[in-house]
Amino acid sequence: MEKKKRTAVTPTRKENFPEWYQEVVRLSDLADSSPVRGCMVIKPHGYALWENMQRALDDMFKATGHVNAYFPLLIPLSFFEKEAKHVEGFAKECAVVTHHRLVQQPDGKMKPDGELEEPYVIRPTSETIIGHSYAKWVQSYRDLPILINQWANVIRWEMRPRIFLRTAEFLWQEGHTVHATAEEAREETLRMLDVYTDFAENWMALPVIKGRKTEDEKFPGAVETYTLEAMMQDGKALQGCTSHFLGQNFAKSSEIKFLDKNGEQQYAWTTSWGATTRFIGAIIMAHGDDDGLVLPPKLAPHQIALCPIYKTAEEKEQVLSACKELHKKLSLLSYAGRPVRCRLDDRDMRGGEKIWDHIKKGTPLRVEIGPRDLESSSVMLGRRDDEDHGKIKLTFDELTSRACDYLEEIHNNMFEKALRFTKNQIRKIDSLEEFEKFFTKSSKNQTLGFAYVHWHEDSIGHPLLEKLKVTPRCIPMEEGSLTGTFESGSCIFTGKPSQKRVIFAKSY
């Protein structure tokens, strides 16, 4: 009998993917649960990862002409009532503030007092409150376009929380723009989807499918919703981000009007788009292995960890001295347009413990230096994309000259591995029987995948979808390696004509 490999994470991905995910979050020190149900504490390692994501996205937004601003957390209830579809979509997720003070009771307990004349909704999204400001700021076509992004937190009352994937409070950015024409607003919607695609593939090493949401899956109040769908290692889909063409719906509810070049008053055209800390969950589930996190080098809090190994005080002094020199040289390098993030890990702990800590936390490159290595001015290098955790010997000069090349190789390997997996788990399906069989696995540990099927909108609400807990993820926008060639056919649910296939999957 083959001996089972010992892993840092128990259970493994194949044994129980949901529990594996929770254990990786814990072991990698990303986040913790909180005393507030459904909320999370993002720990320094997790927040450093989010900061790197923020920094990259923020630069991309500003490169396309956007600026940052901030709007209130509390939104008057009446603002939501102006946009019926919007409030209907979020009504069950809203947290509402109804009082403005606490009064101590004789038994020492605190009781809400001072009922508000109008309740406030803690923002689930900001279209309505931002629209109120835009209505004041926009008077003429000369005031357009408005291209604003907000970094903030939101509350959406989540009944089945899971850290980073579904929490009542989460961090995000939300872009809200105003345009003079529908054409400009649509261009903005698709431009930002391309920005997210660039970020997912070139920073997160995550292959994605760009597509338009079906009518039943689009954002409440939007005319069109676009999305990036990524496959996780259990074959489920994760919606990476969304970009919405809102038409004039929110402009009319918020009275965002302007005088055009002919002096005629027009309602503006608006968009909104956003990405959240769910992206961290995507990194865990798309790249992690049975020893913990595997972080994309461009986003890792530390790209290189220098791990001095010694036994005596004399060895410590010599090894640390060499490590400090290496740290200086590596920190002067530039990768992905930024200084290399190198950590000299001089914690008072055994060398093996340090190495495993960096493996579990996903550090891309681990550099071990001991007394014997100093004799030949060499190091032992480990790469996190190597699941066997092998090591190669390099001289100090080889390490400094090739470190950035290794980081780029790791990024490319991670992307190609995820791409191969995604391709292998997509199935073209042409019958309802085959569709049901595909999503009805005999074992809970079997990997799922994406079904690529012909579909007609009249099949929205088909009972089989509810039975299987499967949803249409997107109508792909582009032909490519993950979607194949667009071709016409017949909807497997209704038999009606279909112009292209649609991605269906179980999802997070």
Write out pLDDT tens, residues 432-455: 999 999 999 744 556 789 999 999
pLDDT value at 208 more than 60:
yes
CB atoms within 10 A of CB 262: 7
**What was the pLDDT predicted at 4?**
65
Per residue in 310-322, pLDDT tens? 999 999 999 999 9
**What was the pLDDT predicted at 441?**
73
pLDDT value at 1 more than 90:
no
**What was the pLDDT predicted at 46?**
98
Per residue in 216-240, pLDDT tens? 999 999 999 999 999 999 999 999 9
pLDDT value at 172 more than 80:
yes
Between CA 503 and CA 452 the distance in angstroms is 5
**What was the pLDDT predicted at 83?**
75
The residue-averaged pLDDT of 118-143 equals: 97
Between CA 397 and CA 325 the distance in angstroms is 12
Between CA 208 and CA 231 the distance in angstroms is 8
Between CA 6 and CA 372 the distance in angstroms is 29
User: What rounded mean pLDDT belongs to the chain?
Assistant: 95
The beta strand positions in 336-431, using DSSP E, are 338-339, 342-344, 365-369, 378-383, 391-395, 426-429
**What was the pLDDT predicted at 91?**
84
pLDDT value at 51 more than 60:
yes
Between CA 396 and CA 388 the distance in angstroms is 24
The residue-averaged pLDDT of 124-150 equals: 97
pLDDT value at 263 more than 70:
yes
Between CA 182 and CA 65 the distance in angstroms is 19
Architecture of the domain defined by 304-417: 3-Layer(aba) Sandwich (3.40)
Per residue in 467-478, pLDDT tens? 999 999 999 999
Per cent of the chain over pLDDT 70 is: 98
**What was the pLDDT predicted at 308?**
96
Between CA 477 and CA 74 the distance in angstroms is 36
pTM of the model: 0.96
Same fold, 17-287 and 304-417: no
Between CA 464 and CA 4 the distance in angstroms is 39
The residue-averaged pLDDT of 278-287 equals: 98
**What was the pLDDT predicted at 443?**
47
Between CA 355 and CA 26 the distance in angstroms is 17
Name the fold adopted by 426-505: Translation Initiation Factor IF3 (3.30.110)
**What was the pLDDT predicted at 444?**
55
Name the fold adopted by 17-287: BirA Bifunctional Protein; domain 2 (3.30.930)
Task: Write down the domain spans for the chain.
Answer: 17-287, 304-417, 426-505
Strand partners, 112: 102
Task: Map residue 154 onto helix, strand or coil.
Answer: strand
**What was the pLDDT predicted at 179?**
98
Give the HSE-up count for residue 68: Cα atoms under 13 Å, Cβ half-sphere: 14
The residue-averaged pLDDT of 283-288 equals: 98
